[in-house]
């Protein structure tokens, strides 16, 4: 079999890793698919820019047409990012019969269905393992390893930046802004960290996971999102007192025909396996009706872990080429989308209040919760030294989102409640 020729879109952190792996693992690739793999052309913005890998300058181009319309290029690997322009380029590549590997979570979250349909219509493969959780083979696990099971729930840590920040805040008692600055200096956080710290990056990944895991087209707008920028050292300290660790959790749950998908700061029991996932590492729990619980854990980002996922997808395409089955792996969603109403979404909640330090105030607060049928699992009451204010920390039993939002509104309206300092979801004591 002749060599497989690759066109590479992008030569940043991941693109450089792809080049290194393809060059250093030729013997492994030959063993897997029976032919050499050659990078024929690389699309870059600036051909004169210094690179951390040694490359023949003739490989570099600023013109995507040199890749799109080269009949010898079999596969396009897209690791340059971007959405609208990148989507147009990949659609053109598919029309030219080129298979696609992409690490672009933004693109797949927003336009995955369109691209997968185009791939199928043109007899092409489109693989995107690296778009979620870096080097962890979670998408392949869902699509292949758990293909016969019915997935009911997925929850996990799918953003390394926020996990690094929360780990440092929790273990070292440091402030959010201080740790964020350190993360930026170390390269774990972008200069503009908004997509990470406000939960948008994780939301895109959860939309991809939920679409694949539930075989239901979940759009980014269907994911409820809140980030970590408002979390304080006090929140984490009280959580520790109650036996909890804070993580930014992506959560997707199916009950019957209805689903909910969210990304939000969540208190987990210290005994929960996800509570021990530290720093930039990712982990995803998957629950199937037949298999029960499985956990995928590993580095969620970085040059070589993400590039490993990209090259693994490339191997999958090359094996399909040998078998002549390209373009048959894409499966359109099986079920129509039905999202849960807020009244059908249940969770435990942590809430921290500053209230007037007077007799009867706690009884009044308790009455508000009782009115909506919500009881308490844990209570902390602490004096605040100034202004005759007391601090109350409550963890509720399960409550519907509708009832909990009503409770928050009632508490806001109470004269005795000075401020709702914070409120977070709490996962149960056991999985």
Q: Is 104 inside a domain boundary?
A: yes
DSSP letters for 401-424: HHHHHHHHHHHHH-TTEEEEEEEE
Q: What angle do CA 98, 14, 135 make, to 5 degrees?
A: 95
Q: Are 19 and 51 members of one domain?
A: yes
Q: Is 143 inside a domain boundary?
A: no
Distances (CA, A) of 53 to 8, 76, 251: 14, 20, 39
- What is the rounded CA–CA span in Å between residue 288 and residue 284? 13
- pLDDT, tens digit only, all 431 positions of the chain: 678 899 999 998 889 999 999 988 888 888 887 888 899 999 999 888 888 888 888 999 999 999 999 999 999 999 999 999 999 999 999 999 999 999 998 999 899 889 998 998 999 999 988 888 777 778 877 877 676 678 899 999 999 899 999 999 999 999 999 999 998 888 778 889 999 999 999 999 999 999 988 988 899 999 999 999 999 999 999 999 999 999 999 999 999 999 999 999 999 999 999 999 998 899 999 998 888 888 899 877 667 778 888 988 888 888 887 777 776 766 667 788 999 999 999 999 999 999 998 888 999 999 999 999 999 999 998 877 667 788 999 999 999 999 999 999 999 999 999 999 999 999 975 43
Closest to 269 (Cα-Cα) out of 425, 408, 400, 420: 425
Q: Are 264 and 202 members of one domain?
A: yes
Q: Would you please indicate which residues are annotated as catalytic (active-site) residues?
A: 205
Q: Is 362 inside a domain boundary?
A: yes
- What is the rounded CA–CA span in Å between residue 30 and residue 27? 5
Q: Are 356 and 268 members of one domain?
A: no
* CATH code (residue 71): 3.40.50.720
Q: Are 127 and 189 members of one domain?
A: no
Which tens digit of pLDDT belongs to each residue from 250-268? Answer: 999 999 999 999 999 999 9
Are 44 and 53 a contacting pair, CB within 8 Å? no
Residues 6 or more apart from 238 whose CB is under 8 A from it? Answer: 352, 380, 393
Q: Are 213 and 235 members of one domain?
A: yes
Q: Is 149 inside a domain boundary?
A: no
Q: Are 260 and 274 members of one domain?
A: yes
- What is the rounded CA–CA span in Å between residue 348 and residue 429? 10
Q: Are 278 and 380 members of one domain?
A: no
Give residue 221's domain range.
155-298
Q: How many separate domains does the chain show?
A: 3
């Amino acid at each position: 079999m002749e060599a497989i020729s690759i066109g590479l879109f992008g030569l940043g952190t991941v693109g450089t890793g792809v080049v290194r792996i393809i060059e250093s693992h030729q013997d492994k690739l030959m063993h897997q698919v029976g032919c050499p793999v050659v990078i024929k052309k690389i699309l870059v913005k600036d051909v004169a820019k210094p690179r951390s890998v040694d490359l023949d300058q003739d490989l570099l181009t600023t013109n995507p047409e040199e890749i799109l319309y080269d009949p010898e290029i079999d596969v396009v690997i897209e690791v340059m990012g971007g959405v609208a322009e990148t989507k147009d380029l990949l659609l053109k590549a598919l029309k030219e019969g080129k298979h696609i590997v992409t690490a672009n979570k933004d693109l797949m979250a927003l336009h995955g269905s369109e691209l997968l349909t185009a791939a199928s219509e043109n007899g092409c493969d489109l693989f995107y393992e690296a778009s979620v959780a870096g080097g962890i083979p979670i998408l392949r696990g869902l699509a292949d390893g758990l293909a016969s099971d019915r997935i009911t729930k997925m929850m996990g840590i799918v953003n390394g930046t926020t996990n690094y920040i929360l780990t440092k805040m929790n273990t070292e008692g440091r402030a959010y802004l201080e740790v964020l600055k350190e993360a930026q200096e170390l390269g774990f956080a972008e200069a503009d960290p908004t997509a990470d710290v406000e939960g948008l990056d994780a939301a895109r990944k959860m939309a991809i996971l939920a679409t694949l895991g539930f075989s239901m087209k979940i759009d980014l707008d269907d994911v409820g999102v809140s980030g970590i920028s408002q979390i304080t050292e006090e929140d984490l300290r009280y959580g520790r007192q109650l036996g909890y660790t804070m993580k930014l959790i992506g959560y997707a749950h199916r009950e019957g025909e209805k689903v909910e998908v969210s990304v939000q700061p969540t208190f987990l029991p210290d005994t929960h396996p996800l509570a021990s996932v530290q720093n930039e590492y990712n982990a995803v729990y998957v629950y199937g009706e037949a298999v029960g619980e499985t956990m995928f854990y590993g580095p969620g980002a970085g040059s070589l872990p993400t590039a490993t996922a990209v090259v693994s997808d490339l191997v999958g395409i090359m094996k399909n080429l040998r078998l002549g089955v390209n373009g048959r792996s894409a499966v359109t969603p099986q079920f129509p989308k039905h999202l849960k109403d807020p009244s059908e979404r249940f969770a435990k909640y942590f809430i921290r209040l500053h209230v007037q330090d007077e007799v009867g105030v706690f009884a009044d607060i308790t009455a508000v919760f009782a009115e909506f049928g919500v009881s308490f699992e844990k209570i902390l009451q602490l004096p605040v030294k100034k202004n005759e204010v007391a601090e109350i920390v409550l963890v509720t039993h399960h409550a519907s989102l509708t009832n909990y939002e009503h409770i928050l509104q009632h508490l806001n309206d109470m004269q005795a409640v000075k401020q709702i300092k914070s409120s977070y979801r709490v996962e149960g004591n056991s999985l």
